[in-house]
């Protein structure tokens, strides 16, 4: 048995650096059809022997027996709550506490690879499909899209295909549209057919000789201990003879794309609604979409001018054109007016009584302030159809230019009144809160001149209005909605606290969406935000809310707001786009993008340029090429192991001639002793042969659905468990990590967290449109990341840096519209940039609409 110190040392080595470790395999790919099945059968025999014990069959028993304690839970956990309408799967808030401070147990057992059935699935009820030069076991989709329409697709090479709706992806080698086949864990492969894509099992692609060699030591908790040494010796004897033949086979390691990640062969052939470069906008496009010129209203068109303006008594008003007034009574006189803010909830435009009461309040306030005119919307927006009245108004209806009117006012007052529906007297503070709940009133407070605002209440003493300081509006008027954010904006416009352009746009948009409005256009809230910014695109009635905000963001220098937003991961599937909360608890200004939004398209999509991309292989693993560097010790170990069986046979043959030539017996005994010594040293020679730090490795991204532990994945790709492949410490909200006794942060199997384990079990029954669990394998960084998504993302795009890592947008491909849709956002190590190519500008969407689908008749779901 090992001492506690030796055990701790062994555990530290097991958790070594990603490219380091004690062992390392070579890789090989195999030939045709039945030979693959034969090698799978042969390679699976040892896996049954040294796999899980009988009480270790599920992820629940893979976890370490030591307790895992949460530390530093996030303030805004990702929360996929269950919904009856869309069947989303729930995640408890504590699920996203990614750091654990847990000392390792006194004796931490080695984690064994999960038993993968591989070729054993051929005895199941599924159909076997032969694919050209090799057999590949595929499970057909259990759900089918209801649409029978055929769609046209043109790939990057100009090849055009018209095919029915199916889940497809762009193949990384030739860019052709291929049917999506997703490898999955055994429990999912044998479970219900509840996907619209094809499924297959996870295959072992590592060389048979490596599997035989590692079969000698993989069963042991600690190969360096004497506890299981005799068992390893017994296994080494047959393995030595087998490796004598297999060591001469060719190792077809796959080196491709100059050791870089597989590229994304994509070329966008479509057009956009609005390009950031005006020269790219088509001539036939709407002038509203093509023109982003700045237009401001320098003064109002109409005002209510007081009769006998310097008299304190009420004499009424005349609604006049400002241009006419300037040509007559206003010659050489400054234009000074009072802005009247009110809500139609208190003063209805359909009631003459309400309008008369509003004018009484307005005239009283104007005469008290010694201002000769006032602007009130009910009278000064003369033509309700002013949108069509002239060229200037076609571009900007007056409702979106109120901010300019307010900026030119000398002062502003608020008029409130008792609603007709109320039978009791409502306090002024309550009336003021009702007024403040309307969207268009929010910019009025921010842009109003002065430090205080007078509040006039209908039916009260108009000579003694309530005066409210602007910096008290947040706590007094908006306390029920967003007092904190609103106070920041008030302080910004008062000059006591400056917000950046990015903070201003994000905070203001959030506050506007927290308020009510009678919608005139879909982009009303973005157009209300437009009044707070300097540059204003022209109002387009065809804009969706996202398109209106996107055009506003492009027109202004908003510090790449859209680019930053695309790199955020929503807290839940139902999170609206304007919330912009990030599941990683990062703020937009923490994200530094190095890509650019080039255009705005239909269906709430944009054209993105400058990102780095890589394709994800979902169908299967392949033998990954790698190098460990030159080593004389390793070369001698390989020479000894590959010839040990031959040495043993030669020694036995020489001993058989002892009666004929006694000297031959001496050499035979020497060879036998040498073979026995090599046999005794086999476990150590195996570690020497396949060990060492990786000096180079083929960068590749593999994906599979469900959960398989890291040793099983490493064995499938590299042939054995060499403790190089580990879990990312913070690659996704599901990632987990802990601090060891040396203060080192190490990634840990996420299923050791009971909440993640429960999530993995629950998502096995997900249906189309529900969140599922997927795993990404990164061979360059030797990391695995488990994450949630509705569909398997077929590519990742590195678009920004944040917190010392890269934001990777994982996208599925809607080939019917040539659109990449954000499925999730992962965090990848920065060195990944060294192995990814730039991608030409591509179309990306924030949320993919779910196509109607139905179960296939005769398939169990």
pLDDT in tens, 192-201: 889 999 999 9
Least confident among 140-154, 230-244, 608-622, 772-786: 230-244
Greater pLDDT, 203 or 412: 412
Strand bridging mode 168-170 / 177-179: antiparallel
Strand bridging mode 612-615 / 837-838: antiparallel
Hey, what are 662's tokens?
Answer: 């006694």
pLDDT of residue 58: 35
Where does residue 236 rank: exposed (0-12), middle (13-18), buried (19+ CB within 10 A)? buried
Greater pLDDT, 610 or 651: 610
Determine the Cα–Cα distance for residues 687 and 714; give it in Å rounded to an integer: 15
* Average pLDDT of span 635-641: 83
Hey, what are 209's tokens?
Answer: 């000789």
Determine the Cα–Cα distance for residues 816 and 376; give it in Å rounded to an integer: 50
* Average pLDDT of span 527-544: 84
pLDDT of residue 539: 81
Mean residue pLDDT across the chain: 81
pLDDT at 698 over 60: yes
| Percent of the chain residues past pLDDT 70, beyond the cut | 79
Determine the Cα–Cα distance for residues 526 and 41; give it in Å rounded to an integer: 62
CA quadruple 807, 808, 812, 818: dihedral positive or negative? positive
Determine the Cα–Cα distance for residues 813 and 822; give it in Å rounded to an integer: 9
Least confident among 35-39, 298-302, 407-411: 35-39
CB 703 within 8 A of CB 34: no
Greater pLDDT, 334 or 60: 334
CB 196 within 8 A of CB 167: yes
Coil, helix or strand for 666? helix
pLDDT of residue 228: 72
Instruction: Tell me which DSSP letter residue 89 carries.
Output: P
pLDDT of residue 474: 92
Determine the Cα–Cα distance for residues 537 and 416; give it in Å rounded to an integer: 33
CB 411 within 8 A of CB 371: yes
CB 505 within 8 A of CB 499: no
* Average pLDDT of span 362-385: 89
pLDDT band at 632; cut points 50, 70, 90: confident
* Average pLDDT of span 695-699: 90
Phi, psi values for residue 257, rounded to 5°: 55, 35
Greater pLDDT, 818 or 83: 818
pLDDT at 297 over 90: no
pLDDT of residue 45: 34
SS3 content of the chain, % helix, strand, coil (to 5): 35, 20, 50
- At a CB cut-off of 8 Å and minimum separation 6, what does 761 contact? 59
* Average pLDDT of span 45-53: 33
HSE at residue 848, side-chain half, CA atoms within 13 A, is: 28
* Average pLDDT of span 699-727: 92
Strand bridging mode 605-609 / 842-845: antiparallel
Least confident among 31-35, 275-279, 340-344: 31-35
pLDDT of residue 330: 82
Instruction: Tell me which DSSP letter residue 721 carries.
Output: -
- At a CB cut-off of 8 Å and minimum separation 6, what does 313 contact? 367
pLDDT band at 796; cut points 50, 70, 90: very high
* Average pLDDT of span 315-328: 93
pLDDT of residue 47: 35
End-to-end CA distance of the chain: 50
pLDDT of residue 421: 67
Determine the Cα–Cα distance for residues 166 and 537; give it in Å rounded to an integer: 39
pLDDT band at 14; cut points 50, 70, 90: very low
Greater pLDDT, 64 or 286: 286
Greater pLDDT, 486 or 4: 486
pLDDT of residue 215: 77
* Average pLDDT of span 121-131: 64
| Percent of the chain residues past pLDDT 90, beyond the cut | 52
pLDDT at 207 over 60: yes
Dihedral angle of Cα 6, 10, 15, 17, to the nearest 10 degrees: 100
pLDDT of residue 431: 94
Rounded to 5°, angle at Cα 641 from 635 and 644: 130
Total count of residues recorded for the chain = 861
pLDDT of residue 676: 83
The DSSP line for 146-200 is: S---EEEEE-TT--EEEEES--EEE-TTT--EEE-EEEE-HHHHTS----SSEEE
Determine the Cα–Cα distance for residues 749 and 737; give it in Å rounded to an integer: 8
Least confident among 106-120, 423-437, 841-855: 106-120
Which is nearest to 391 in space by CA: 295, 283, 533, 290?
Answer: 295
Greater pLDDT, 356 or 288: 356
pLDDT of residue 605: 97
CB 137 within 8 A of CB 121: yes
pLDDT of residue 718: 86
pLDDT at 512 over 50: yes
pLDDT of residue 444: 94
Phi, psi values for residue 605, rounded to 5°: -125, 160
Most confident of 92-101, 452-461, 637-646, 674-683: 452-461
Determine the Cα–Cα distance for residues 477 and 487; give it in Å rounded to an integer: 11
CB 471 within 8 A of CB 494: yes
Phi, psi values for residue 451, rounded to 5°: -100, -20
Residue with tokens 């006694």: 662
Least confident among 537-551, 639-653, 698-712: 639-653
* Average pLDDT of span 761-779: 96
Coil, helix or strand for 685? helix
Greater pLDDT, 113 or 365: 365
Least confident among 202-211, 333-342, 541-550, 684-693: 684-693
List pLDDT tens digits, range 462-499.
999 999 999 999 999 998 778 999 999 999 999 998 99
List pLDDT tens digits, range 167-192.
999 999 999 999 999 999 999 998 88
Where does residue 356 rank: exposed (0-12), middle (13-18), buried (19+ CB within 10 A)? exposed
pLDDT band at 745; cut points 50, 70, 90: very high
């Amino acid at each position: 048995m090992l001492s506690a110190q030796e055990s701790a040392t062994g555990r530290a080595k097991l958790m070594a650096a990603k490219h380091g470790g004690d062992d390392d395999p070579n890789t090989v790919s195999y030939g045709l059809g039945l030979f693959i099945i034969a090698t799978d059968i042969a390679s699976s025999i040892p896996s049954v022997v040294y796999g899980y014990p009988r009480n270790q069959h599920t992820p629940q028993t893979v976890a370490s027996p030591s307790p895992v304690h949460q530390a530093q839970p996030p303030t805004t956990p990702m929360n996929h709550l269950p919904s009856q309408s869309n069947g989303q799967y729930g995640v408890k808030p504590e699920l996203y506490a990614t750091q654990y401070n847990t000392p390792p147990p006194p004796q931490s057992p080695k984690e064994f690879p999960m038993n993968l059935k591989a070729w054993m699935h051929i005895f199941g009820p599924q159909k076997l499909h032969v694919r050209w030069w090799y057999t590949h076991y595929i499970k057909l989709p259990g759900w089918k899209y209801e649409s029978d329409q055929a769609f046209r697709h043109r790939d990057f090479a100009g090849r055009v295909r018209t095919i029915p709706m199916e889940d497809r992806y762009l193949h990384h080698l030739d860019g052709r549209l291929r049917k999506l086949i997703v490898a999955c864990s055994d429990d999912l492969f044998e479970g219900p057919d509840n996907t619209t894509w094809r499924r297959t099992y996870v295959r072992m692609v590592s060389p048979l000789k490596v599997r035989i060699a590692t079969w000698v030591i993989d069963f042991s908790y600690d190969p360096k201990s004497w506890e299981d040494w005799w068992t390893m010796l017994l296994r080494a004897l047959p393995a030595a003879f087998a490796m004598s033949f297999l060591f001469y086979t060719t190792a077809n390691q796959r080196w491709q794309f100059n050791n870089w990640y597989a590229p994304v062969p994509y070329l966008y052939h479509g057009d956009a609604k609005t390009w950031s470069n005006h020269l790219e906008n088509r001539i036939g496009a709407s002038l509203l979409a093509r023109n982003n010129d700045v237009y401001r209203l320098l003064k109002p068109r109409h005002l209510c001018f007081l009769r006998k303006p310097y008299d304190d008594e009420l004499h009424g008003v005349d609604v006049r054109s400002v241009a006419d007034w300037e040509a007559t009574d206003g010659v050489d006189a400054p234009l000074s007016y009072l802005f009247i803010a009110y809500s139609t909830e208190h003063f209805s435009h359909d009631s003459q009584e309400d309008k008369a009461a509003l004018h009484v309040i307005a005239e009283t306030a104007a005469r008290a302030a010694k201002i000769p005119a006032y602007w009130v919307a009910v009278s000064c927006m003369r033509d309700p159809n002013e949108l069509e009245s002239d060229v200037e108004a076609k571009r900007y209806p007056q409702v979106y230019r109120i901010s300019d009117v307010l900026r030119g006012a000398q002062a502003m007052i608020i008029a409130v009144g008792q609603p007709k529906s109320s039978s009791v007297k409502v306090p002024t503070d309550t009336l003021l809160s009702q007024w403040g709940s309307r969207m268009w009133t929010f910019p009025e407070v921010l842009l109003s001149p002065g430090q205080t605002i007078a509040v006039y209440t209908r039916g009260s003493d108009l000579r003694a209005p309530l005066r409210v300081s602007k910096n008290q509006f947040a706590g007094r008027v908006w306390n029920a909605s967003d007092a904190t954010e609103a106070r920041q904006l008030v302080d910004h416009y008062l000059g006591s606290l400056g917000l950046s352009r990015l903070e201003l746009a994000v905070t203001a948009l959030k506050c506007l969406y927290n308020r009510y409005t009678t919608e005139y256009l879909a982009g009303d809230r973005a157009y209300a935000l437009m009044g707070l910014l300097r540059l204003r695109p022209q109002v387009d009635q065809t804009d969706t809310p996202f398109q209106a905000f996107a055009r506003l963001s492009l027109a202004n220098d908003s510090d790449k707001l859209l680019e930053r937003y695309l790199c955020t991961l929503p807290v839940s599937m139902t999170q609206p786009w304007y919330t912009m909360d990030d599941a990683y608890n990062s703020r937009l200004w923490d994200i530094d993008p190095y890509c650019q939004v080039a255009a705005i398209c239909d269906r709430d999509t944009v054209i993105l340029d400058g990102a780095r991309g890589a394709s994800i292989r979902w169908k299967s693993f392949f033998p990954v090429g790698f190098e460990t560097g030159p080593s004389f010790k390793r070369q001698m170990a390989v020479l000894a192991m590959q010839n040990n069986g031959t040495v043993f046979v030669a020694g036995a043959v020489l001993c058989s001639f002892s009666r004929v030539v006694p000297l031959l017996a001496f050499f035979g005994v020497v060879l036998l002793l040498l073979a026995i010594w090599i046999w005794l040293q086999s476990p150590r020679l195996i570690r020497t042969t396949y060990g060492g730090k990786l000096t180079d490795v083929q960068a590749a991204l593999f994906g599979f659905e469900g959960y398989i532990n890291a040793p099983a994945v490493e064995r499938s790709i590299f042939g054995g468990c060499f403790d190089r492949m580990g879990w990312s410490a913070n690659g996704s909200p599901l990632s987990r990590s802990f601090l060891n006794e040396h203060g080192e942060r190490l990634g840990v199997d996420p299923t050791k967290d009971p909440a993640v384990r429960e999530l993995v079990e629950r998502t096995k029954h997900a249906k189309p449109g529900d969140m599922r669990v997927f795993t990404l394998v990164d061979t360059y960084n030797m990391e695995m990341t488990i994450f949630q998504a509705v569909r398997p993302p077929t590519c990742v795009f590195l678009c920004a840096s944040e917190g010392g890592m890269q934001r990777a947008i994982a996208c599925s491909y809607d080939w019917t519209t040539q659109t990449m849709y954000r499925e999730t956002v992962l965090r990848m190590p920065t060195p990944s940039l060294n192995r990814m190519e730039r991608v030409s500008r591509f179309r990306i969407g924030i949320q993919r609409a779910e196509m109607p689908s139905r179960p296939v008749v005769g398939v169990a779901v």
